[in-house]
């Protein structure tokens, strides 16, 4: 009975550890990208995974970085351990204390300090900086694994080998190394695992277009993770499970047998010894084969990334382009697109400003583009090389010209409004008319969602209070913050595009959302309806821009031109469901959708709306400080 309870306890702990993993595996077969609903079995995410260059690239990056970091840190670490043994006690203690720093240091501090150091020395961020950072934090794991083994194994066998005439290197390789091999191996494995599972350090030290699985996931967390990543993780997990099971149990079995034999007093017969040797050889052979395959694979993809082919670096919101279009562009022009993603304009801007990474094309929101123009981060667009710009609807270009005189720097990609999405089965149709409804305690029970985005969230309160959405007046902002804090107890969550999943699964009944999400949500859950509140709202444009430090301007122009094609615009509309500024595309869209005023609001509605503007550095800091005041509350 007592044993039963002990087992029961262990099972519960294991269940706790493995429950999320089971969940992810199940979700990888789920026929929808909305989490939390089961829509039947599918393998489509696995297919999409195999055909997605972004995911395969992240996968290769992750393995490549982990492998290099683990191999280098194992070699450097093991050699260092031998050296450490020769040090005096005091020197040894000092070095061990230094070794402990990365272990005890918070990941975020390690990451940030490395990033700052690279910046101070003018080293631009790249794959190399990530690998360096990984080696640095992997080394302590190797040292702490190898050093105790080395101490344990003692010096007598080594000295005996020297006495028998072996050279130090030979003695080390043939006498010491086999003895400490378990320590070296577990150090390697731990280093590899830690590198593989790392997010924070990679996130702060990576260059343009360098994504690992972790950073790819993070860029999608707010957008809603595509199940292709679940599929990829499932595959990795299963492979590792099989490999580790084999490597863990086979040697165990052999060792067990050997022990039993030893107990019985049986010496290994020459044949058995040969067998053992063969097994060992097979083991080494397998390991060598795995390393070879991975390095060939890795070499090829590094070649593809840095090599002769033309490349453009594209910086975009997560899941904000139809992947088929990227493939089509690559096929048509032979230019490889390396895409990096961000979640909000505010998080993209400092990266572009720092100049530590350089992109060729960026998709950015209108007011951020204004800020980039003001800080001279962009270069003017040469319309001669982008003939398809003629497809753009002139009336939208006119609106945009208010921000960017002469449409010099920005070419619209999508546009839309911000409004309220609500569930008609919970809230009667027509009941929602105003932003104030998001402050209605009666609706809180259904779950109210707000955006986690400085300008949009402030805008809602500013509309209710009757302020300009471009205000930076401290008194007005204080009222805005007070109003938002008043709403806080009613709000279920502040999130970005993940809000659509919560509305689809009916985890929330009402929330502020971008107009483009409406059609997608309607497809997934027909009870949802979109409203542009009567106080008015923000009209926004997401635009293509070419940064001043772009290296491949010609490729960037070709890419933009490709995206402005009528058919490409249609594909974009169908994938993103955001309104298109492309009049040639509009003609291809179903009339029924074209006349849906929720997606394409009437001129009357548009007249009540306004655009955000960049307010200058000081005002930006004022906004940021009020935002922190609200969020820190």
Partner 1 sequence: MFKRKWLTAPYLAFILCGTVIPLIAILYYGFTDQEGSFTLENITAIADEEHAKALGLALLLALICTVVCLILAYPVGLILRKHASGKKGFVVFILILPMWMNFLLRTYAWKALLAGNGVLNNTLGGLGIGKLNIINTPAAIVLGMVYDFLPFMILPIYNVMVKIDNNLIEAAYDLGASKGKVLTKVLLPLSMPGIISGITMVFVPAVTTFVISQILGGGKIYLIGNIIEQEFTLNGNRQLGSGLSLVMMVFILISMALLNKFDKNGEGSII
Among 11, 15, 36, 51, binds partner 1 (CB under 8 A): 36
Interacting residue with partner 1 among 56, 71, 177, 200 (CB under 8 A): 200
Shortest distance in whole angstroms from residue 512 CB to partner 1: 13
Q: Tell me which of 186, 379, 472, 527 binds partner 1, using CB under 8 A.
A: 186
Question: By CB under 8 A, which span of 47-55, 108-116, 388-396, 522-530 interacts with partner 1?
Answer: 108-116
Q: Would you count residue 20 as binding partner 1 (CB under 8 A)?
A: yes
Question: The tokens 């087992």 sit on which residue?
Answer: 7
Tell me which stretch binds partner 1 (CB under 8 A): 16-24, 302-310, 559-567, 585-593: 16-24
Q: Which one among 4, 40, 106, 270 touches partner 1, defined by CB under 8 A? A: 106
Q: How far is the CB of 129 from partner 1 (least distance, A)?
A: 11
Q: Is 305 exposed, middle or buried (0-12, 13-18, 19+ CB in 10 A)?
A: middle
CA distance readout (Å), 434 to 461, 487, 532, 534: 11, 15, 8, 6
177, 426, 491, 619: which one contacts partner 1 (CB under 8 A)? 491
Using rule CB under 8 A, residue 102 touches partner 1? yes
CA atoms within 13 A on the CB side of 422: 25
Determine if 302 is a binding residue for partner 1 (CB under 8 A): no
| Binding to partner 1, residues 148-167 (CB under 8 A) | 148, 154-155, 158-159
Binding pattern for the stretch 492-521 against partner 1, x by CB under 8 A and - elsewhere: xxxx------x--xxx--------------
| Parallel, antiparallel or unpaired: strands 539-545 and 411-423 | antiparallel
Among 84, 335, 532, 539, binds partner 1 (CB under 8 A): 84
Q: Is position 246 an interface residue for partner 1 (rule: CB under 8 A)?
A: no
Q: Can you spell out the DSSP letters for 445-459? A: TT-EEE---HHHHHH
Burial state string for 369-387 with b = 16 or more CB within 10 A and e = fewer than 16: bbbbbeeebbbebeeeebe
The answer to whether 338 touches 531, Cβ cutoff 8 Å, is: no
- Of residues 111 through 150, those in contact with partner 1 by CB under 8 A are 112-117, 119-120, 132-133, 135-137, 139, 141, 143-145, 148
Q: Which of 11, 43, 50, 79 binds partner 1 (CB under 8 A)?
A: 79
Indicate the angle between helix axes 566-576 and 553-563, nearest 10 degrees.
80
Contact residue for partner 1 among 52, 70, 77, 415 (CB under 8 A)? 77
Shortest Cβ 120–partner 1 spacing (Å): 5
Structure tokens given for 262: 């030893």
For residue 528, list its beta bridge partners: 423
Choice from 104, 264, 270, 590 touching partner 1 (CB under 8 A): 104
Question: From the list 11, 43, 50, 87, which residue makes contact with partner 1 (rule: CB under 8 A)?
Answer: 87
Q: Does 577 bind partner 1 (CB under 8 A)?
A: no
Site string for partner 1, 342-381 (x = CB under 8 A): --x-xx-xxx-xx---------------------------
- Provide the token pair at 136: 């640095």
- Contact positions with partner 1 (CB under 8 A) in 582-621: 621
Q: Among candidates 145, 248, 149, which has minimal Cα distance to 191?
A: 145
Which listed residue (298, 447, 536, 579) binds partner 1 by CB under 8 A? 447
Spatial distance between the Cα atoms of 535 and 608, rounded to a whole number of angstroms: 8
d(CA 407, CA 383): 10
Token pair of 363, please? Answer: 């998709």
CA 142 to centroid of chain Cα atoms:
28
- The residue whose two tokens read 């066998």 is 157
Nearest approach, Cβ of residue 75 and partner 1 (Å): 9
Dihedral sign from CA coordinates of 427, 433, 435, 441: negative
């Amino acid at each position: 009975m007592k044993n039963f309870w002990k087992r029961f306890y262990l099972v519960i702990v294991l269940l706790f550890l493995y429950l999320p993993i089971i969940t992810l595996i199940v979700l990888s077969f789920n026929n929808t990208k909305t989490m939390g609903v089961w829509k039947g079995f599918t393998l489509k995410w696995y297919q999409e995974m195999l055909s997605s260059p972004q995911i395969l690239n992240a996968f290769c990056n992750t393995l490549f970085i982990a492998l290099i970091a683990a191999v280098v840190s194992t070699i450097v670490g093991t050699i260092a351990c031998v050296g450490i043994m020769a040090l005096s006690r005091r020197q040894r203690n000092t070095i061990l204390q230094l070794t402990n720093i990365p272990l005890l240091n918070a990941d975020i501090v390690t990451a940030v300090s490395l990033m700052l150091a690279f910046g101070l020395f003018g080293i631009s961020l790249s794959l190399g900086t990530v690998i360096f950072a990984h080696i640095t934090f992997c080394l302590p794991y190797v040292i702490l694994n190898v050093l105790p083994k080395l101490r344990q194994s003692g010096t007598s066998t080594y000295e005996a080998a020297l006495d028998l005439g072996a050279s130090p290197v030979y003695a080390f390789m043939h006498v010491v190394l086999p003895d400490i091999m378990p320590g070296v191996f577990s150090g390697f494995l731990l280093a590899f695992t830690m590198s593989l599972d790392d997010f924070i350090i990679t996130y702060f030290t990576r260059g343009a277009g360098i994504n690992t699985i972790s950073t790819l996931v993070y860029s999608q967390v707010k957008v809603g993770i595509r199940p292709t990543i679940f599929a990829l993780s499932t595959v990795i997990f299963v492979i590792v499970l099989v490999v580790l099971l084999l490597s863990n149990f086979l040697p165990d079995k052999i060792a067990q047998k050997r022990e039993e034999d030893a107990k019985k007093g049986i010496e290994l017969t020459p044949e058995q010894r040969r067998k053992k040797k063969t097994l060992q050889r097979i083991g080494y052979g397998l390991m060598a084969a795995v390393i070879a395959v991975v390095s060939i694979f890795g070499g090829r993809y590094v070649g593809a990334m840095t090599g002769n082919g033309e490349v453009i670096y594209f910086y975009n919101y997560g899941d904000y382009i139809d992947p088929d279009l990227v493939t089509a562009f690559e096929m048509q022009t032979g230019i490889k697109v390396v895409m990096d993603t961000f979640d909000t304009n505010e998080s993209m801007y400092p990266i572009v400003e720092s100049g530590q990474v350089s992109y060729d094309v960026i998709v950015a929101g209108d007011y951020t583009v204004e800020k980039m123009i003001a800080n001279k981060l962009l270069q003017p667009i040469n319309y001669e090389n982008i003939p398809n710009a003629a497809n753009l609807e002139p009336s939208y270009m006119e609106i945009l010209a208010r921000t960017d005189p002469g449409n010099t720097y920005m070419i619209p990609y999508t546009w839309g409004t911000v409004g309220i999405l609500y569930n008609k089965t919970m809230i009667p149709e027509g009941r929602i008319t105003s932003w104030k409804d998001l402050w209605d305690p009666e609706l809180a029970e259904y779950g109210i969602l707000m955006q986690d985005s400085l300008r949009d969230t402030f805008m809602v309160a500013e509309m209710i209070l009757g302020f300009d959405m471009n205000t930076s007046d401290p008194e007005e902002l204080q009222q805005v913050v007070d109003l938002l804090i008043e709403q806080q107890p009613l709000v279920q969550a502040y999130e970005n595009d993940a809000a659509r999943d919560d509305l689809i699964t009916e985890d929330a009944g009402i929330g502020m959302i971008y107009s483009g999400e409406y059609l997608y949500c309607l497809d997934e859950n027909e009870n949802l309806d979109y409203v542009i509140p009567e106080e008015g709202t923000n009209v926004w444009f997401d635009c293509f821009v070419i940064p001043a430090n772009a290296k491949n301007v010609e490729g960037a122009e070709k890419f933009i031109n490709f995206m402005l094609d009528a058919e490409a615009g249609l594909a974009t509309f169908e994938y993103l469901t955001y309104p298109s500024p492309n009049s040639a595309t509009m003609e291809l869209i179903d009339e029924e959708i074209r006349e849906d005023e929720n997606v394409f609001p009437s001129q009357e509605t548009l007249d009540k709306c306004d655009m955000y503007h960049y307010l200058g550095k000081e005002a930006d800091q004022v906004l940021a400080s009020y935002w922190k005041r609200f969020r820190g509350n």
